[in-house]
Structure 1
Amino acid sequence: MIPPLREVEKPGQIFNGPKQYKNMLERVIDPEKINVQADCIEMSELYAGERVKEGRIVKGFELVEVGRGDGIEIVGDRRDIMGIHVLVSGVTDDSAQAIESIFSEVINRMRGVEYRFRKENVRIIVSEEVEEKFSAECVGRIIYDAVKSIPAVKSVKVRMICDENEFMKIIEKSRRVHENREKKSESLKDSDVGRFYGCVSCQVYLPHHVCTITPDRPSPCGTIYSEAKAAEELKLVHYYFPVDRGRTIDEHKGEYEGVNRAVEEMSEGAITKVKLHSALDSPPPTGNYAEAIVFYIPEEDGFGIVDRGYRKKTPTGLTFDSMEKIIVGQQVEGFVGVSFAYMRSRSFLKGDGGWNRVKWVSPNVYDFIMEFLPYELLKSIKTMG
């Protein structure tokens, strides 16, 4: 059952202020599920789509684990780093990882604050107007109240990591935990389940964008199937929804009748067909926070992959940022946003030849794929510093 659509901006439609914007928000956020307020900073769901173009950039990570403890602990006083490490009891590990998805929701409700990306790639942009109000103590209290409001959660311990040594220690732990969760989910295949999950979180910024998350196809921002499943079941946030897989149209490229129907409805007809494992033929649209972009290289009749951290030009002459501007919120054949988790998938670009057609990757991607691709295949893939 797909949640009903509400009125959103149409292409070329003039934005008419808070009332119209609130209608957009109601389809992706359920304020009643995470109803938190704060004395330390102004908060409202109306601020959830606010873009902060200039301000202090805070590097962070998000990690929720099953564990014991209660209260809020502030570790260190650095202002350029802020890791969020939460221990919860009363829920399973699948539910714990789903709880991570609410951090961006509640922090983005702060006036003058924008929370970007997921897991170990978090960036928080703090505008000058709220510089004095935004603090680890403030964020910690809001996160504590948000997680505590989940009925299944029995206890909550929030650790706000602002010490460099502890930050580096826990972010490495976070990376291992997330990698292990991804590996755990790798045994499940698209064909093993009758239900996928859709996500419309980016519709706050991109009114017609929708992602499809399957066992073989994590979202471009890195959300894996078990996370989406647990988040939807817990009803933590309102932007995940179940998608019946339906009849298989093209298993090789990953086209399913139910996915096409859901994408067409949730994009209001902007996209009518998606092939989950292709970059050349009806690729999945790309949202705001893709970890990497796959792009076609005509001269090679193959693909390149560039991660968000690579600032130089790719073999096509385009940078990550310039590609992202072209494809964000769009379905553009020859480009597709992907996550590192999807690179591990047995179905990675299988509709286009998979890793055998990858000719170039950025250095970070190369370091990552060295862990699982055979040496003979790695030799055929170029990279550069």
Structure 2
Amino acid sequence: MDRNEIRSMYGIKDDALLDRTLKTYHEIDVPRLLSMAADGSNAIVDMAKGLVDDAMATHGADAELVYPETGYGLPAIFAWKGIENLTLEKAKEFLDSLPTAGESSVEDGMVAGENAMYAADIIEAIAYLNGKGNGFIPDRVLRALGLPLVDDTIPGAVVFLGGHVSGEDVSAMIRSVQGKGMVAIASGDYPALIQRQGIEMGLDRMLYPVGMFTGTVHALNFAVRAALTFGNVAGGDAEKLSDYLKKRPKVFVIQTGPLCALDAAFAFAALKHSACIVTDQNLPEIPGAVKVCKDHLSSIQTGIEERGIVINVEPIELPVPYGPSFEGELIRKPDTYVEAGGTRSTAFEVLLSKNEDSIEDGSIKMIGKEIDDFEAGSIIPLAMIVEVYGKDMHDDLEPVIERRFHSSINFAQGVWHAGQRDSDWVRISNKAKEAGFKLADLGKILVHKVKEEFGGIATRVQATIITDESEIQRRMPEAKEAYDRRDERMKGLKDDLVDDFYTCTMCQSFAPAHICIVSPERIGLCGAINWLDAKAGHEISPNGPNQPLKKEDAIDIDKGEFRGINDMISSASHGDIERICMYSLMDAPMTSCGCFEVIAAMTVDMQAVVLVDRDFPGMTPVGMKFSTLAGSIGGGRQTPGFMGIGRKYITSEKFISAEGGIARIAWMPKHLKDLIKEQFQRRCEDIGMPDLWNKIADETITDDAEGLMAWMAQVEHPALTMDPLL
């Protein structure tokens, strides 16, 4: 690590302390490791004290230490110690209270690791206070990863620590992690090493650079926030936190190059978080905790085995890397070689059930020009048709499988997909084309993923990729007929007309106290599971997370309270949650896990409701940002007046219908309004309030309670004529 860069970023003036933290040894036995951890820890604590003094002189003793876009203050300190709000003055008192780290036993090593973690949390927060911080992973990113973490699409996380690795080995290790669908967190010299290899990092890549020196603490912050967000672990409950981290998320550390004293302390902090360490240094091995592996290319597999991670991603031969790491990748127009759809050209995608004789299993047909036949920047027509057969396949499963096209295609690096049906949009980057990606590879991806995920249902699968306009026009009517057929079936899917709702317990591995209840008119709060998905999930896996739930014995139809649901919830939560009202925000609302898309919250005057989604970082009229609100309702909590929901539920007829439905909505972020505009305006027409849309404020109008109340009075918002929520 570059000492001058560290001094500049953190404002460090004491070179002696800096030298102590960065001191390295080549021959390390247990006594030496303990001594290094103690010295590194004590030095970084003393350094933190000096930096706090400097910050108080600049910002004042009452300046608060916070990271951006989190509801957990300084997460490591909050999670383990329960301290929510830390001013500079309180930070100094906290650091003074830490015991001096000893060097006689493993227990001393754990104290050294804990102290170093706390000091690092404070140092990093001071860097943010001084306008130089970077590397913190916002809560919204963690929540967006919720479902993939839950269903093991993301099976674990790897923290890269240290450096001294060849560019070739860095590339191979990162590609291995990405190909296995794991989160990668780069600290120490690794961000610079990765950048030099031309590998893109960022919050949309599942490859997060958290910086050098004390930035490693952001990897620990990521782990503890998973427990706080999904596990209903309260800040300061160290025993419950420790138990949770033994199971989730599964993390291991790849440490390379000479070990410095600070990283020795961080190694013990990682062990406190149940991570295991794979190192290329001659460290003493500890079963299940420290493993020596000199071959960098084997280190990832070694870590997977040591941490007990199960990799479910099946390999697929493509000219570009493939895995969940690339799902959030954006491809801008200047970087696009060809694009299709998105109102720019004729395009559609469809999955159709066929009889067995018409399917050649594994076949991929290309009709029309290949990518090489188009000039760079071309806008092309494109149809992607997947045809399947299976004796248990039926029409209701078609849209369920078809919706998976989106993520399946986005897993390919350099390939971007949005939309669905005949409003899809595909871009293929210049880099993907240069790597050899073909349009026929889209068919290869779709056949592979359908067979991988739905092979028990769709036993024969073939794909046809078409770029010939006349052939697309010839095939389009069959696709539109399928869309219309599905829409007609969906119109009849109402809560009142079905006997069964479905449970979704996928999140229970992360949020043990939560069970999602999915109905035709209430999508799962993650936004990814609707009633048909859950029904299909049960058919595919009868003992899986989606189980039919008899409504039985209506207690209150308007609120959506049923004895059958209450009995199940009470039993599953061991009596912690006794009632659920499906359509109420105020009376026994459904619990939330942590990966909800939107939060519905009652306003300060208890007259209306505000909505805020996880992509909005600003303040809301209830006086809290999304991250703070989310911290109070996640992990299976039931909080009347506050509820996590899926975005599509907003435009459902059952949306908080017990409290008046969408007429209660007084505020939401502008980009959320834009996302749901078309469907929401239809609902406004349905309820006879066509002007409601214009009466809903956003952040361009106000972001505080007083401003919202004034706006509602000005526009005569209908919620003002309703009974108060409480």
> What is the TM-score of this pair, normalised by structure 1?
0.64
**Residues in 1 aligned to 2:557 and 2:631: alpha-carbon distance in whole angstroms:** 30
Is 1:365 the counterpart of 2:670? The answer is no
Match of 2:522 in 1: 217
Q: Give the Å deviation of 1:254.
A: 0.7
Listed one character per residue, the Cα deviations across residues 221-247 of structure 1 (whole Å, up to 9, x for unaligned) are: 253222222221233882100101111
**Residues in 2 aligned to 1:317 and 1:181: alpha-carbon distance in whole angstroms:** 43
Is the contact between residue 504 and residue 516 of structure 2 (CA under 8 Å) also seen in structure 1?
yes
Given the alignment, which residue of 312, 321, 335 partners 2:642?
A: 335
CA separation of 1:15/1:190 partners in 2, compared to 1, >3 Å: closer, same or farther? same
Q: Give the Å deviation of 1:256.
A: 0.7
Point out the structure with max Rg over C-alpha: 2
Is 1:355 the counterpart of 2:641? The answer is no
CA separation of 1:321/1:140 partners in 2, compared to 1, >3 Å: closer, same or farther? farther
Q: Which amino acid aligns with 2:500?
A: R
Q: Which amino acid aligns with 2:649?
A: Y
Of Structure 1 and Structure 2, which has the larger fraction of its residues in strand?
Answer: 1
**Residues in 1 aligned to 2:545 and 2:669: alpha-carbon distance in whole angstroms:** 32
**Residues in 1 aligned to 2:406 and 2:639: alpha-carbon distance in whole angstroms:** 27
Query: Which stretches in structure 1 are left out of the alignment for 5+ residues?
Result: 1-8, 22-30, 42-49, 77-84, 111-117, 121-135, 160-176
Listed one character per residue, the Cα deviations across residues 168-217 of structure 1 (whole Å, up to 9, x for unaligned) are: xxxxxxxxx99996785243322222211110111232122111111222
Match of 1:378 in 2: 693
Q: Give the Å deviation of 1:354.
A: 1.4
Match of 1:201 in 2: 506
Given the alignment, which residue of 65, 68, 72 partners 2:351?
A: 65
Of Structure 1 and Structure 2, which has the larger fraction of its residues in helix?
Answer: 2
Query: Which stretches in structure 2 are left out of the alignment for 5+ residues?
Result: 1-230, 234-239, 252-309, 319-323, 332-348, 372-383, 412-418, 424-440, 466-481, 701-726
**Residues in 2 aligned to 1:252 and 1:141: alpha-carbon distance in whole angstroms:** 45
CA separation of 1:285/1:10 partners in 2, compared to 1, >3 Å: closer, same or farther? closer
**Residues in 1 aligned to 2:534 and 2:244: alpha-carbon distance in whole angstroms:** 33
Bigger RCO of structures 1 and 2 (CA < 8 A, at least 6 apart):
1
SS class of match (1:316)? coil
1:164-203 alignment, distance < 5 Å: 184-203=489-508
Is the contact between residue 408 and residue 445 of structure 2 (CA under 8 Å) also seen in structure 1?
no
Match of 2:539 in 1: 233
CA separation of 1:292/1:149 partners in 2, compared to 1, >3 Å: closer, same or farther? same
Q: Which amino acid aligns with 1:193?
A: V
Given the alignment, which residue of 272, 275, 291 partners 2:578?
A: 272
CA separation of 1:245/1:309 partners in 2, compared to 1, >3 Å: closer, same or farther? same
1:252-291 alignment, distance < 5 Å: 252-291=558-597
SS class of match (1:233)? helix
Q: Give the Å deviation of 1:365.
A: 2.8
Listed one character per residue, the Cα deviations across residues 111-154 of structure 1 (whole Å, up to 9, x for unaligned) are: xxxxxxx989xxxxxxxxxxxxxxx9997675244146224443
Q: Give the Å deviation of 1:349.
A: 0.6
**Residues in 1 aligned to 2:614 and 2:497: alpha-carbon distance in whole angstroms:** 32
**Residues in 2 aligned to 1:158 and 1:285: alpha-carbon distance in whole angstroms:** 43
Taking only aligned residues, the RMSD between alpha carbons, in angstroms, comes to: 4.9
Listed one character per residue, the Cα deviations across residues 303-347 of structure 1 (whole Å, up to 9, x for unaligned) are: 011233333222123222332232222322211122233222222
**Residues in 2 aligned to 1:289 and 1:238: alpha-carbon distance in whole angstroms:** 20
Q: Which amino acid aligns with 2:647?
A: F
Is the contact between residue 353 and residue 394 of structure 2 (CA under 8 Å) also seen in structure 1?
no
SS class of match (1:284)? coil
CA separation of 1:299/1:183 partners in 2, compared to 1, >3 Å: closer, same or farther? farther
**Residues in 1 aligned to 2:461 and 2:365: alpha-carbon distance in whole angstroms:** 12
Q: Give the Å deviation of 1:56.
A: 8.8
Listed one character per residue, the Cα deviations across residues 234-274 of structure 1 (whole Å, up to 9, x for unaligned) are: 33882100101111111111111111122233334442211
Is the contact between residue 99 and residue 236 of structure 1 (CA under 8 Å) also seen in structure 2?
no
> What is the TM-score of this pair, normalised by structure 2?
0.37
Match of 1:323 in 2: 629
Match of 1:87 in 2: 386
Q: Give the Å deviation of 1:104.
A: 11
Is 1:149 the counterpart of 2:455? The answer is yes
